[in-house]
Amino acid sequence: METWDAIRARRNVRTYRPDPVPAADLDRIAEAGWRAPSASNRQQWNFIVVTDRGQLEALSTVWRGARHIATAAAAIALVVPQFDDDRMRTVNQYDLGQATYAMMLAAADLGVGTGHSSVGGQEAARKILGVPDDHDVAYLIGIGYPADRPLKPIVKPDRLPFDEVVRRGHW
Amino acid sequence: METWDAIRARRNVRTYRPDPVPAADLDRIAEAGWRAPSASNRQQWNFIVVTDRGQLEALSTVWRGARHIATAAAAIALVVPQFDDDRMRTVNQYDLGQATYAMMLAAADLGVGTGHSSVGGQEAARKILGVPDDHDVAYLIGIGYPADRPLKPIVKPDRLPFDEVVRRGHW
């Protein structure tokens, strides 16, 4: 898909067709995250690709916004070290956002929908994925083919007026 | 450009040709940010598109990592409200990361390079852009045509080994 079409077609997808997403496509989605930039190229992240139904169902319980993971074809968990440093923690969140968007866009390009979620129950999430205690499961991205309409460029996205958000030269 | 090519071609660009980037292209780059997802679709952000040389030179002094802004064709400043709430501040950083990557990828698709920077001197940055005291200039994105090689898919990006970063099923 053309980049501009993928950017306009990406939307949060939280209901999925039961079809699996090919392993090669999941690899490409993860590769987009792997390629994402990070502060000083630190790459303070791991991406765990999950396709096991039992794990997906268990992960769907770690946050009220994660319920869609139960019926996703797959999920990618974004895992980060616990930072003592406030500044590092902040920058890492910014970097995780970049990696997340990269993966969501790579998915949209393949006609695959994504919907991300925070994680509330760290202990439970760590246990499901075998993540060590000094790391956090920061976010989950649910992955699957949209149950409703396919991904097509959205002409009028649900956003504040463009000229209110985007300004020229000054506030 | 195909999405997968743009994802592989995007790199941090901090030296620019002096040529201006067409206003329509800057609009498209900003539109990609405008379309980016945010927690509960809150859109707690403004994007200020700057092309004035004096402003760009002034912005290049607000952080040691912002020097490249002086010679960029343009910059986009990401402005956010100051949050009292820690959780909101964290999630906003994540959202800013998503918007940043969206804009960088839209730029790469147009052959336009980008390089982002934090902001150290908030008071100075606010003054240059006329931003009110209860907002922060969180990040700057320098924008311009690469002075060196054009944007082409990078076969071996400078990253940790893929299998170290991306895991299957468990940590």
β-strands A74-81, A113-118: how paired?
unpaired
Give the global pTM: 0.97
| Alpha-carbon dihedral angle through residues B46, B64, B13, A85, given to the nearest 10 degrees | -70
**What gap in Å lies between CA A49 and CA A51, rounded to an integer?**
7
Given an 8 Å threshold on Cβ–Cβ distance, is B98 in contact with A95? no
Choosing among B1, B2, B3, which should be mutated to test the A contact, i.e. which has the most A CBs within 10 A? B3
Contact B7 A50 (CB under 8 A): no
pLDDT given for residue A86 in this prediction: 87
- Measure Cα distances from A31 to A4, A25, A142, B156 in Å: 20, 10, 16, 12
Structure tokens at B32: 């990609």
Judged by a CB distance cut-off of 8 A, whether residue B93 touches chain A is: yes
For A:32-51, CB contacts with B below 8 A are 32-37, 41, 43, 45-51
Closest-CA distance, B153 to chain A, in angstroms, reads: 11
B91 touches chain A (CB under 8 A): yes
Burial class for A149, CB neighbours closer than 10 Å (0-12, 13-18, 19+): exposed
Crossing angle (nearest 10°) for helices B86-109 and A86-109: 50
Nearest chain B CA: its distance from A130 CA (Å): 5
Q: Out of A52, A98, A106, whose CB is closest to B4? A: A106
| pLDDT for the residue B86 | 87
Verify whether the Cβ–Cβ distance A101 to B12 is below 8 Å. no
Report yes or no: A62 and A137 within 8 Å, Cβ to Cβ.
Answer: yes
Share of chain B above pLDDT 70, in %: 100
In this complex, the residue of A35, A160, A162 whose CB is nearest that of residue B8 is A35
Each residue's pLDDT tens digit in chain A (171 positions)?
999 999 999 999 999 999 999 999 999 999 999 999 999 999 999 999 999 999 999 999 999 999 999 999 999 999 999 999 988 999 999 999 999 999 999 999 999 999 999 999 999 999 999 999 999 999 999 999 999 999 999 999 999 999 999 999 999
Rg (C-alpha) for chain B, rounded Å, is 17
DSSP labels, A93-130: HHHHHHHHHHHHHHHHHTT-EEEEEE-S-HHHHHHHHT
Q: Share the mean pLDDT of chain B.
A: 97
ipTM value for the complex: 0.97
Q: Which pLDDT score is estimated for B33?
A: 98
- pLDDT in the model for residue B148: 94
Residues of chain B contacting residue A7, judged by C-beta atoms under 8 Å apart: 32, 35, 102, 105-106
Which residues does chain A have within 8 Å of residue B133's beta carbon, measured at their own beta carbons?
none
Taking only the tens of pLDDT, chain B with its 171 residues reads 999 999 999 999 999 999 999 999 999 999 999 999 999 999 999 999 999 999 999 999 999 999 999 999 999 999 999 999 988 999 999 999 999 999 999 999 999 999 999 999 999 999 999 999 999 999 999 999 999 999 999 999 999 999 999 999 999
pLDDT of residue A98: 98
Q: Determine contact: B4 vs chain A, CB below 8 A.
A: yes
